Amino acid sequence: MRLSNARLVDAHPSIAGPPAGALVDIDIVDGEIERVSPAGSTPSVGERHDLEGATVIPGLWDEHTHMGQWARHRMRPSVFEAASAEEAVAIAAQAARAHVGSRSAADPLVLVGMRDALWPAPPTRELLDAATGAVPTLIVSSDVHSSWPNTAMLARLGLTLDTALLREDAAFDALQAVEGMLDADALDRHVVDALAGAAARGVVGVVDLEFDDAVGAWMRPGRATPTRVEVGIYQQDLELAAERGLRMGDAIVPPRQRGAANARVGRLKVISDGALGTRTAWTSHPYADGAGLAGAGVRNVDDDDLDRLLARATELGLGAAIHAIGDAAVTAAIDALERADAGGRPRGGDRIEHAQLVDAADIPRLARLGIVASLQPEHALDDRELTASLWADRAGDAYRIRSLIDAGVRVVLGSDAPVTPLDPWRAIATAVTRTRDDEEPWQPEEAITIAEAIAASSRTRIAAGEPADLVVLADALPDDDEVSRDPRAAAKRLRSTTARATLIAGEVVHGSL
């Protein structure tokens, strides 16, 4: 098959290839790119699709998602816009009324998007009980690190609680227990639908860091999807991974099995600190409002635990993805990876997830040790006010994507769906423009180019021998001059980019050529 007259975006500056804007013909054989040649310069064999100058980019990856949660989140009521606890419970009251008469009336009710750090007064149990009555209700924070249950939900979970909110492990456990009460077949259908929705945005692959034995979930036949999935393993499931004998990169279901999903084993995921919105990200300086738990956030694993987990991951042939948001957590993660490196752990497979606040001294260490920084640019704008108020004079060290790339750190982008929607164009737009809507660009000196943002959101290149994971865009992209002239207009355009066709291994999985 030939895609003729395709327009390419310049690759990452370190990659040789045809110049930006050049029209090329892309020949695809057996799921791979066989040849990329200047348009019309070589004879075409087989099926030919004239793209008439449409832009073609490598298939996009979302490098950090929680697929089960995202699949459900897409269908859950959100309190994201609520500016107070009262506004949130008004939304919950309406959702509870609708829930009672719905098909899922027997399930607990979950709302999402709580941003209580921005509310003038803290939430209370009484307020939520008055709005939701006997319907077991949980309102999950937008960073998923805390949640607000009503009394009926606590009874359903068998919990007692002195405070209004569940935080960190208690919040993760509660959400996991609630998800466990819901039907797995329905979840699988929602996950497959969510990935089909993502393909319309050009997504060919996701990293799934779902909490509850995601590898087991991807063994279910209901998860068959053409999308590539790399599945994380949490520390509590590490020995299960050992029993299954699965190493990183292994297919979770034999690829030729009927209905098999395209899922492979990914990295060990370790959550080493909390999050900014919950004031639990572990920082080297106390929070400016004095409200950080213990002053400077929470550390979830100590050095010994990190060393032990990394040693076991090395034995099992697994990469590591260490969640570290505050600068102290990032330093501790790098220290642990450096010790593992000295102990013979293979270099290059490990990531720090989020890396929201990075001490300047740690940037060259990430580069030297080949540690990938996995960032979610949308968090930068969602957390903009919080970063300014809580991290104050340290805010300049937040989301330094330009600095990381310039120092030679490999950066990959993601959404952390459900925290932000599974849509790489949001991450790309924010990384490139550092703005959206009518906001002034935030720390514009840390912006990266469109080509860099696409390279950080894909795993392949448009070159001979690469998998034919490709996206034909429905719209032309702005160029970098347009971005610097009017970042807000460019942000709007980038965020609304859609795929005319998405191909995985040469197969059209969305749209048409």
Q: Rank residues 416 and 469 by Cβ distance to Zn ion and give the closer one.
A: 416
Structure tokens at 476: 């032309």
- Can you tell me the distance from the alpha carbon of 34 to that of 26, in angstroms, rounded to the nearest whole number? 8
> In angstroms, what is the minimal distance from the CB of 66 to Zn ion?
6
Contact letters (x/-) for Zn ion, 150-189, by CB under 5 A? ----------------------------------------
Total binding residues for Zn ion by CB under 5 A?
Answer: 1
Cis-peptide, bond into residue 346, ω within 30° of zero:
no
Nearer to Zn ion, 24 or 422 (CB): 422
Nearer to Zn ion, 323 or 510 (CB): 323
Length of the chain as a residue count: 513
Least distance to Zn ion from the beta carbon of 64, Å?
Answer: 6
Shortest Cβ distance from residue 65 to Zn ion (Å)?
Answer: 8
Do residues 109 and 140 touch, judged by C-beta distance below 8 A?
A: no
Instruction: Give the shortest CB-356-to-Zn ion separation in angstroms.
Output: 12
Angle of helix 424-433 relative to helix 487-495, nearest 10 degrees, comes to 170
Rounded to a whole number of angstroms, the minimum distance from the CB of residue 209 to Zn ion is 5
- Name residues whose C-beta falls within 8 Å of residue 368's C-beta, 6 or more positions apart in sequence: none
DSSP output for 124-182:
-HHHHHHHHTTS-EEEEETTSSEEEE-HHHHHHHT---SSS-EEHHHHHHHHHHHHHTS
> What is the distance between the alpha carbons of residues 138 and 39, in angstroms, rounded to a whole number?
56
Cβ atoms of 451 and 11 within 8 Å: the answer is: yes
- In whole angstroms, what is the distance from residue 371 CA to residue 267 CA? 13
Nearest to 389 by CA among 279, 272, 274, 275: 279
Q: Nearest-CB residue to Zn ion?
A: 416
To the nearest 10 degrees (0 to 180), the angle between helices 303-315 and 327-342 is 50
**Footprint of Zn ion on 386-425 (CB under 5 A):** 416
DSSP state of 390: I
Q: How far is the CB of 434 from Zn ion (least distance, A)?
A: 22
Single-letter code of the amino acid located at 85? A
Residue 62 vs 416, nearer CB to Zn ion = 416
| Residue 310 or 321 with smaller CB distance to Zn ion | 321
Amino acid at 300: N
Structure tokens at 400: 């330094």
Nearer to Zn ion, 327 or 416 (CB): 416
Cβ proximity to Zn ion: between 66 and 510 the closer is: 66
Which of 206, 216, 220, 221 shows the shortest CA–CA distance to 241?
Answer: 216
Nearer to Zn ion, 375 or 454 (CB): 375
In terms of CB distance, is 326 or 441 closer to Zn ion? 326
Percent helix, strand, coil in the chain, to 5, is 35, 20, 40
Min separation Cβ 419 and Zn ion, Å: 7
Which is nearer to Zn ion, 171 or 470 (by Cβ)? 171
Least separation in angstroms between CB 459 and Zn ion: 19
Q: In 3D, which of 271, 224, 203, 300 has the Cα closest to residue 502?
A: 203
Query: Per rule CB under 5 A, is residue 210 in the interface with Zn ion?
Result: no
Distance in Å, CB of 206 to Zn ion, minimum = 12
Question: Distance between CA atoms of 229 and 64, rounded to whole angstroms?
Answer: 11
Please state, in angstroms and as integers, the Cα–Cα distance from residue 138 to each residue in 78, 107, 127, 186, 471, following that order: 12, 12, 13, 20, 38
Nearest approach, Cβ of residue 416 and Zn ion (Å): 4
Nearer of residues 172 and 425 to Zn ion, judged by Cβ: 172
Residue 52: in which H helix or E strand, if any?
A: none
Q: Report the interface residues with Zn ion, using CB under 5 A.
A: 416
